[in-house]
Amino acid sequence: MTSPLAAGARPPCAGTLREGVVASLALVPSVFVYGTVFGGLAVQAGLTVAQVLGMSLLVFAGASQFVAVPMLVGGAPAVAIVVTTYVVNMRHYLMAATLAPSFRGFRRVWLALIAHLINDESFAVVVARSRPPDPWIYLGSALAICGAFVVGVAVGVALGGLVSEPERYGLDFAFPAVFLALVAVQLRHRADWLVAIGAAVVAVALALMLPGNWHIVVTGLVVSVVAARLLPVDEADRQEEPTA
């Protein structure tokens, strides 16, 4: 394998890749479990093992994958699912823009690969450890998190095949439950509550009127745009917890 670095670029500081892995170990169990829950529920919902693993490797963005499964089952149009995925994952722009300057000197092919590994947990790890973010700590963390997620999904797929009649055990409710848990940990300030409650009300109203699950994208964009216009900008840089 060729070096990811272009000629003349700064080599990694000793041990930073390993530091990234070690710093992420505290998050590995929860990412593993998150993957397991997804793998199990997705198989239960009727996706094949190959589809569940393929989605996890190709998309590698937990929240949007959780979003897609009930939409697939519920017969939402393909375009609605893809657009919803895009909106759910738009937060990556923020992380990519913050990380990018640290990766000057990396070959473009490697940048294209590393970009695929951008995830909330590794971003939180690297930003907490180094300013500007150290690319090697980030890379080590991304490998640990990605590994934990994919292995978790594989285990979940194996376990998920064991349960029959998921509705009887309330397992279909696990999808909204995951979304609500992800919201609950992000609500810190009054503005967060206003946005979340506003989105809930608008989404329920639209869901009663619009076909094909379009209420998700419409609500997500309209409520976030309105809130971003109205709220003071100093809300922009508050520390946030990883979402998915």
Partner 1 sequence: MRSDVWLVIVGMAAATYLTRAPMFLALARRPLPPRVRLWLRLVPLAVLPALAMPLVLVRDGHLALGWTNPALWGAAVVFVLAARRVNLLASVAAAVAVVALLRAVA
Q: Interface with partner 1 includes 169 (CB under 8 A)?
A: yes
3-state helix, strand, coil in the chain (%, to 5): 70, 0, 30
Q: Interface with partner 1 includes 153 (CB under 8 A)?
A: no
Between helix 49-58 and helix 62-73 the angle, nearest 10°, is: 140
Q: Interface with partner 1 includes 82 (CB under 8 A)?
A: yes
Contact 83/94 with Cβ under 8 angstroms?
no
Distance of closest approach, residue 155 Cβ to partner 1, in angstroms = 13
Phi/psi-derived region of residue 46, left when phi > 0, alpha when psi is between -120 and 50, beta in every other case: left
Q: Give all strands (DSSP E) within 31-144, no chain letters.
A: none
Q: Interface with partner 1 includes 67 (CB under 8 A)?
A: yes
Contact 15/129 with Cβ under 8 angstroms?
no
> Which residues, at least 6 apart from 234, have a Cβ–Cβ distance to it below 8 Å?
none
Q: Which of residues 22-51 bind partner 1 (CB under 8 A)?
A: 30, 33-34, 37, 46-48, 51
Q: Interface with partner 1 includes 150 (CB under 8 A)?
A: no
Complex with partner 1: residue 15 or 101, whichever CB lies closer: 101
Q: Interface with partner 1 includes 202 (CB under 8 A)?
A: yes
Which residue of 126, 127, 142, 174 would you call a contact of partner 1, by CB under 8 A?
A: 174
Distance of closest approach, residue 235 Cβ to partner 1, in angstroms = 5
> Quick check: helix, strand or coil at residue 130?
coil
Distance of closest approach, residue 167 Cβ to partner 1, in angstroms = 8
In this structure, what are the phi and psi dihedrals at residue 5, rounded to the nearest 5 degrees? -95, 140
Distance of closest approach, residue 28 Cβ to partner 1, in angstroms = 13
Contact 227/191 with Cβ under 8 angstroms?
yes
CB atoms within 10 A of CB 103: 18
Distance of closest approach, residue 24 Cβ to partner 1, in angstroms = 17
Q: Which of residues 97-126 bind partner 1 (CB under 8 A)?
A: 97-101, 103-104, 108, 111-112, 114-116, 118
Q: Interface with partner 1 includes 63 (CB under 8 A)?
A: yes
Complex with partner 1: residue 17 or 81, whichever CB lies closer: 81
- Using CB under 8 A, count the residues that bind partner 1: 105
Q: Interface with partner 1 includes 219 (CB under 8 A)?
A: yes
Complex with partner 1: residue 18 or 86, whichever CB lies closer: 86
Complex with partner 1: residue 8 or 14, whichever CB lies closer: 8
Cis peptide before 70 (omega within 30 of 0): no
Q: Which of 63, 62, 64, 69 is nearest to 41 (CA)?
A: 69
Distance of closest approach, residue 130 Cβ to partner 1, in angstroms = 16
Between helix 91-99 and helix 120-129 the angle, nearest 10°, is: 40
